[in-house]
A and B are shown apart, each in its own frame.
Chain A
Amino acid sequence: KAGVTQTPRYLIKTRGQQVTLSCSPISGHRSVSWYQQTPGQGLQFLFEYFSETQRNKGNFPGRFSGRQFSNSRSEMNVSTLELGDSALYLCASSLVPYSNEQFFGPGTRLTVL
């Protein structure tokens, strides 16, 4: 069974731009969660989607948004990028929402210059 895939793996943007990251969950998994990880920080929860609906949201500004499609694939968007948005963005899939048995993708490394 294929694992969680994330694209792109690496991304370089400049301040003020916007970016869209993509995540394909494990086949059969309907829940997708997004996390931000910066050096020395724990994983910061962004949001979780299940059946195309946002079920849970972390404490991030409105510049961070996401969506989920009918095939469970998910995208997250960050608008008006700031230097502090440079981070590893991780996607995790699970069978059901609110599960801590999550399977993580390799992440997208975003650098904002």
Chain B
Amino acid sequence: KNQVEQSPQSLIILEGKNCTLQCNYTVSPFSNLRWYKQDTGRGPVSLTIMTFSENTKSNGRYTATLDADTKQSSLHITASQLSDSASYICVVSGMDSNYQLIWGAGTKLIIKP
């Protein structure tokens, strides 16, 4: 069964600290993986997209990694800011005939001053 699991479910860190969020998936065959940021009460906004051949991709203070062999991705946030408080969602798309996006449940990140 195609699944996307994210950990931790929630995370609280102090402003200025770094953190890493995890995403494990079982989607096969794999097409690409995208990380979204969702502020409370708003729609998700794309941060990065990674294909099978990409290992690392950065977007400012956000760096995503992908290990297609172990089917794991991580999102690293450097020097966190209060505005980073949000849910971070991993979504994987497959390439089979029953195409659908498989969404993770998200990690809720809270940055404390």
* Interface residues in chain A, defined as those with a beta carbon under 8 Å from any beta carbon in chain B: 4, 40-45, 56, 58, 88, 90, 92, 98, 100-107, 109
Contact = CB atoms under 8 A, between A and B. Distances in A.
A75 B89 CA distance: 25
Contacts, number: 48
Interface of B: 4, 31-32, 34, 41-46, 49, 89, 91, 93, 99-101, 103-106
Contact of B105 (A40, A90, A109): A40
Interface of A: prevailing SS: loop
B99 A98 contact: yes
Nearest to A98: B99
B49 A42 contact: no
A101 B49 contact: yes
Contacts of B89: 42-43
B55 to A, nearest CB: 19
Given A41-B105, A56-B100, A98-B99, A104 B44 contact: yes
Nearest to A97: B99
A72 B77 CA distance: 37
Contacts of B42: 106-107
